[in-house]
Amino acid sequence: MSAASFESLLLRRRAHRSAMTASIADARATLQRVFGYSSFRPGQSAAVISILRGSDTVVILPTGGGKSLCYQVPAVMFPGLTIVISPLISLMRDQVRALREKGVAAAFVNSAISASESSEVIARAQANELKMLYVAPERFVSSDLAERLRPRVSALAIDEAHCISHWGHDFRPSYRRLTDVRRSLGWPPTIALTATATPDVRTDIAAQLSLDNPTLIVTGFDRTNLTYASVSAKNDAVKTPLIMSAVQSSSGSSIVYAATKNSVERIAAGLKSAGVRAGAYHAGLDAERRRTVQDAFMAGRVRTIVATNAFGMGIDKPDVRMVVHHSMPGNLEAYYQEAGRAGRDGKQSRVLLLHAYADRFTHEFFIANANPPRSVVEAVYAALQRHSTNGLFRGELRDLPLPKTVRISPRQLEGAIRILSNAGAVSIDDPSAAVVRLRLLATFERVSSVLADSPIEIGLMRAMWKCVGRKMSDGADIDLNGLPPGLNGPSLCAPLLDALQSRQLIHYARVRGGIRITNPRRPLSAYPIGWDALERRRKGELTKLDTMQRYAQTKHCRRAFFLRYFGETPRSRRCTSCDNCR
């Protein structure tokens, strides 16, 4: 065993030896002192004690149930570092900001910060200066990050854990590699958390992560303060007045979910013209605009936010009194999670689903594109083999030359790349890696003058000039790994490039890495692609769509429908708070 591995093992043993003596009273004291709460919500205390005692844990809490405290409280109590795998940059930012305000040493590493900032954060983690580090799952792929952090890690938390599952409703390939991350981290105690997991998904999460006899904590899916309703509305002419009426009759904030950015903009404009303070939020807006709209909604300056499903994950706004879906989602898990953003404070709130039969055709189209047939995957792989340089295709994916006889939509193309990546046939190069697009902004005389006392920086400038020559004045791609020893590599060059850019000598940006073929000469048949499993997945998504449609059209209790789907027995056949039972 290496010295680092031995130190890691000792750290975890010390952590869990002290944690074994921790009682619920100790955890409650931490909850009060750091987070300002006097007591745990249902399920939280059991999860906290389980992870403190070193047990792998799977936690299923409803939206608004307080999942984050299940790992944040132990993180404060552990002597080492807790790594949190989180899927969204905005969610990381908000949680880290809130933790820092409470005096908890927390940071994040993702594509929103520079390479030099990432290096500084990782150095702080290695020096045991952080309690919590939020990381996007992709950061662990093709990097030594896990090995570098291993000696300091006390626990691993995985948020939105349904992304791991074959059966889950949000397929994120990097989540499927987290067992390798756990291994590289030395198998730390792991807590996996989600709001939406059927019994099959819970079992699959544990299996995919190789959890050791995990503690399962499920608090129930019955949000008794929510009133559910579903209305058939065949077109926008019918839907628009229903949305207007629902939002205007709501006493608090509202969220309206729409499927496309055009629908979002149109609905938001209609609400504004009716005198409702509304904002639009979708992936077509730049990051700054999305942040401005979200902050305005959280602060109450915008009463209603109209959004695609890009909005809402991790949003802790307690006074949302109405959630409206302009059209039917593709599965009940997504609907339950989005609808559950109403009434997080426990007060009565309403949920309205508008649906048309045509909604099904839209989702069938998406499912077909996301699960391309074998012939499409084979054609994409063959095209990558033909049009790659040294095994790397660096062009835009939409520009990949395909045979004229093959008709592939952009979404099918993305689906094919996902399948190839999961099988190990290709990999997506890290966009923060070695290639930068750089343009010289000053004459070399000025560069020499400004950098007269900076031999390393001027040495880097000369090395880059030797690589591309006068092209540097107009802008050129430079592979940092191809520079001379002592000046090469992203980790060394990034802070130097930042310094040069701050002096307005250069302008640079990272180049999207491209798609790398693992072995350009290896046939696709040599890779373990489970074609039968992919077909089962496609059929599984269609089955989920069937279930969602049955919910929208049912004449029976909607609450009971939810509970049975998630493996819970309803207390009665009828409730008093859905449109059918009322």
Tokens of 234: 């065949």
pTM over 0.75: no
pLDDT tens for each residue of 30-63: 999 999 999 998 899 999 999 999 999 999 988 7
Mean pLDDT of the chain: 85
Question: Burial code of 187-221, b = ≥16 C-beta within 10 A, e = fewer?
Answer: bbbbbbbbbbbbeebbebbbebbebeebbbbbbeb
d(CA 411, CA 417): 10
DSSP tally for the chain: helices H, then strands E: 22, 19
132 against 367, higher pLDDT: 132
d(CA 501, CA 486): 20
Give, in order, the Cα–Cα distances in Å from 250 to each of 78, 301, 320, 418, 501.
44, 16, 9, 42, 50
Q: What is the pLDDT of residue 494?
A: 74
pLDDT-based confidence at residue 101 (cuts at 50, 70, 90): very high
Average pLDDT rounded to a whole number, residues 234-255: 91
Task: Enumerate the β-bridge partners of residue 107.
Answer: 133
Q: Which CATH class is domain 3-218?
A: alpha beta
Contacts of 28 (CB under 8 A, 6+ apart): 38, 39, 40, 45
Q: What is the mean pLDDT of residues 135-150?
A: 81
pLDDT number for residue 489: 66
Choose the weakest-confidence range: 90-104, 387-401, 532-546: 387-401
User: Please, which residues have CB within 8 angstroms of residue 295's CB and are 6 or more apart in sequence?
Assistant: none
Out of 186-200, 249-263, 387-401, 530-544, pick the least confident: 387-401
Q: Does position 13 have pLDDT exceeding 80, yes or no?
A: no
Does residue 398 surpass a pLDDT of 90?
A: no
Angle at 64 between CA 285 and CA 110, to 5 degrees: 45
Task: Tell me if the domain spanning 226-356+540-565 has CATH number 3.50.50.60.
Answer: no
Most confident residue range from 122-126, 292-296, 570-574 = 122-126
Q: Tell me: the pLDDT tens digits for 361-379?
A: 888 988 888 888 899 999 9
Q: pLDDT at position 1, please?
A: 41
- Please report where in the chains the tokens 């790992």 appear, as a residue: 71
Report pLDDT digits (tens) over 74-84. Answer: 999 999 999 99
439 falls in which pLDDT band (50, 70, 90)?
confident
Instruction: Give the model confidence (pLDDT) of 210-230 as tens digits.
Output: 998 999 999 888 888 999 999
- Most confident among 36-45, 380-389, 509-518, 546-555 (mean pLDDT): 546-555
Average pLDDT over residues 260-281: 92
